Structure 1
Amino acid sequence: MEIGNRLQQLIDALDVSVLEFARQLGEKRGEKVYHILHGRLKPRYETLQKILQAYPQVNADWLLRGEGLMFRTLPQTPLAAITLDERLRNMEFLLFQLNERVGLLQQTNDLLRQELEEMKDKMC
């Protein structure tokens, strides 16, 4: 999954507009974020740092590589506690990832079966 897609999922999960997200990063306008979301730009290191600073609950591994949960577990203080909604979003995201993987495995399985049938036909 491309980083633009992950950013869109993050914006959706945070339930903020693209403009509000951009403003949290210190941008006056949302153009840079829009360009990243639409694949016209790749985020710079500084932009990724600003995202992680503005939203400390975001898992850096997920943001950079798409690995793990969208949100990381923070120390359980009233200000840093991950909400039930965020946990549900994490679960929904994991289910989405698993569903994508199952689909890819099914496609691979179908291709292998087709190749096996072709090999059987050649041998007969």
Structure 2
Amino acid sequence: MPIGVRLQQLIDALNVSVLEFARQLGEKRGEKVYHILHGRLKPRYETLQKILLAYPTVNADWLLRGEGLMFRTLPQTPLAAITLDDRLRNMEFLLFQLNERVALLQQTNDLLRQELEEVVGQKKVISLSRVSRRSDRSTEA
């Protein structure tokens, strides 16, 4: 999943506007963030660093590579406990990622099945061609 999509998911999960999100990163306007969201720009290292500083609960692995949960698991103290809503959001995103991976695996499986059928078909043609040559030799003799 492209980083722009993950960034949009993060903004949605934080329940902030793009402009508010950009301002948390020290931007006066939201243009840079809009360009990243629409795939016109890739975020620079400094921008990613600002996101992680502004929102310390965001999981860097998820932001950079799409791996793991959107938010880091916090120590289970009364002040730092993850809310049920956060857990549900994390589960929804994990399910979304798993569905994407399953779809990709299904596509790969279908392509491999097609290639295998083509190879088997070619092998049958070669076998039939050999049988045909043998029968032609036996009728000549």
Distance, in Å, in 2 between the alignment partners of 1:123 and 1:53 is 85
Distance, in Å, in 2 between the alignment partners of 1:30 and 1:51 is 14
Distance, in Å, in 1 between the alignment partners of 2:84 and 2:78 is 13
Secondary structure class of the residue paired with 1:41: coil
Distance 1:22 1:88, change over 3 A: same
Distance, in Å, in 2 between the alignment partners of 1:122 and 1:39 is 68
Secondary structure class of the residue paired with 1:116: helix
2:116 equivalent in structure 1: 116
Scaled by the length of structure 2, what TM-score is found? 0.77
For residues 89-124 of structure 1, the C-alpha deviation after alignment (integer angstroms, 9 at most, x for no partner) is 111111111111111111111122222222x99999
Distance, in Å, in 2 between the alignment partners of 1:75 and 1:117 is 53
Alpha-carbon distance, 1:73 to partner: 0.8
Distance, in Å, in 1 between the alignment partners of 2:103 and 2:24 is 36
Distance 1:40 1:84, change over 3 A: same
Distance, in Å, in 2 between the alignment partners of 1:93 and 1:123 is 70
Scaled by the length of structure 1, what TM-score is found? 0.87
Distance 1:103 1:5, change over 3 A: same
Distance 1:7 1:123, change over 3 A: farther
Distance, in Å, in 1 between the alignment partners of 2:84 and 2:28 is 31
Alpha-carbon distance, 1:77 to partner: 4.1
Which runs of no fewer than 5 residues in structure 1 stay unpaired?
Answer: none
Higher percent of residues as helix: 2
For residues 19-42 of structure 1, the C-alpha deviation after alignment (integer angstroms, 9 at most, x for no partner) is 111111121211111011111222
Which runs of no fewer than 5 residues in structure 2 stay unpaired?
Answer: 119-136
For residues 1-20 of structure 1, the C-alpha deviation after alignment (integer angstroms, 9 at most, x for no partner) is 21111101101111111011
Identity of matched residues, %: 90
Highest RCO, 1 vs 2 (Cα 8 Å, sep ≥ 6): 1
